Amino acid sequence: MKLFFNILVFAFIFNITAPAQVMPSPDENIPFLVTFSKSSDKTWGDDDNVQIYFFSIPQDNKTPFYIRIFDADNGGKYDENRNGFNSKTKFSLYGGKGAHSNPASKEKDPKGNYNSGIMLNTKTFGEDAANDDKWFNFGPINPTEGELQPEMGYVFKLVVEGADGDDGNLYRLSLSSSKDDNIKVEGGNILTYEYCFRTSDNAGSVSHLYPFVTKGIISVTIDVFDYDDEGLIRIISVSKKGENTKLEKAENREISKHTIVDDEINTSLDVQFIKNKSSKNNNITVSITNQVGESLAFYTVPIGGVPKYKYKIKVSK
């Protein structure tokens, strides 16, 4: 008891705080999210020039928060320069009815009214040294401005659209209780239904995506756009010790189908991208659908924790 009290005092004195929910997270081991502008070549890895992210806040959390964007501009230190930076990227934040519940918001391709909801803020970035290698904030945001969703709380949507130009905008996102630092929003999360990201340059690196398997799913299809034969894709779950994908190629896509068993319902999968060769500036787009074509959500904080295979011990009689 005394030790527990001392830990609390230490935490209070030195203001120990938990890091924010960030996408990509350290567990995912992904360098950057990517959105290319609309004149880019699709073989550069972004198949539709639109990415949609959701931020969930527990219903009982009424404290204002911030959605932070690292390196939101097009140009400078990290972004992919094709023929001189000439691009713009639009970041638009939505809340209210339809922000998440509208099915068009959760499709892997941006069709229909994917920007549904009430627009709360928007900003377009070009080449801008003031926002290069720095954090930009939307906020403070009142949690009740989001769309209240069952088992998720209040949900907000960030639509990232590549506008004029042909460059690749590399950036990261954070859900934070502070405007000056990345401080955790208790119980919050960031999710997306299509993940477009930069792979690591180094051979042997392993990136992780954490889709959540909901009730009623009996199979999933993994769709990887522009993987460029970089390596293997493997699935870890409570029931899969390390199931390798059998990729079927279709144009610039690689498709793999997998059966879901009862033990995997209401758990996360660990979809691993294992790089077997060094390469620079490779971007890929990943989506996973169930047996009826509905998209699974990737959570930056995996629901139920990072999945671990559960060994079953057989007792001989």
> Residues 169-190: pLDDT tens digits?
999 999 999 999 999 999 999 9
Handedness of CA 264, 265, 267, 270 (dihedral sign): positive
Give pLDDT, residue 33.
Answer: 98
**Does residue 305 form part of some domain?**
no
What is the CA 302 to chain-centroid distance, rounded? 11
Percent of the residues in the chain that have a pLDDT greater than 90, as a whole number: 80
Name the pLDDT band for 251 (thresholds 50, 70, 90).
Answer: confident
Whole-prediction pTM? 0.91
What span, in angstroms and rounded, lies between the C-alpha atoms of 26 and 28? Answer: 5
**Does residue 40 form part of some domain?**
yes
**Does residue 206 form part of some domain?**
yes
Question: Based on the structure, what is the number of domains in the chain?
Answer: 1
- Kindly state the helix (H) or strand (E) to which residue 189 belongs, with its residue range: strand 189-192
Name the pLDDT band for 212 (thresholds 50, 70, 90).
Answer: very high
Give pLDDT, residue 111.
Answer: 87
Q: pLDDT for 216-230, tens place per residue? A: 999 999 999 998 888
**Does residue 5 form part of some domain?**
no
Which residue(s) pair with 275 in the sheet?
Answer: 231
Give, in order, the Cα–Cα distances in Å from 312 to each of 5, 237, 239, 241, 281.
39, 14, 10, 11, 42
Give pLDDT, residue 247.
Answer: 77
- Structure-model confidence comparison of residues 32 and 243, the more confident one: 32
**Does residue 177 form part of some domain?**
yes
Name the pLDDT band for 231 (thresholds 50, 70, 90).
Answer: confident
Q: Which residues contact 285 (CB under 8 A, 6 or more apart)?
A: 45, 46, 47, 48, 194, 195, 196, 224, 225, 226
Q: Give the domain extent around 91.
A: 15-299
**Does residue 6 form part of some domain?**
no
What span, in angstroms and rounded, lies between the C-alpha atoms of 228 and 198? Answer: 13
Give pLDDT, residue 75.
Answer: 94
Name the pLDDT band for 314 (thresholds 50, 70, 90).
Answer: low
Name the pLDDT band for 14 (thresholds 50, 70, 90).
Answer: very low
Give pLDDT, residue 108.
Answer: 86
Q: Which residues contact 5 (CB under 8 A, 6 or more apart)?
A: none
* 8 A C-beta contact, residue 53 and residue 173: yes
**Does residue 304 form part of some domain?**
no
Per DSSP bridges, beta strands 189-192 and 50-57 are: antiparallel
Q: Please state the rounded mean pLDDT for residues 119-131.
A: 97
What span, in angstroms and rounded, lies between the C-alpha atoms of 211 and 213? Answer: 7
Look at residue 16 and tell me whether its pLDDT is greater than 50.
no
Handedness of CA 40, 211, 171, 161 (dihedral sign): positive
Interior angle at CA 167, CA 166 and CA 173, nearest 5:
130
**Does residue 8 form part of some domain?**
no
Give pLDDT, residue 13.
Answer: 32
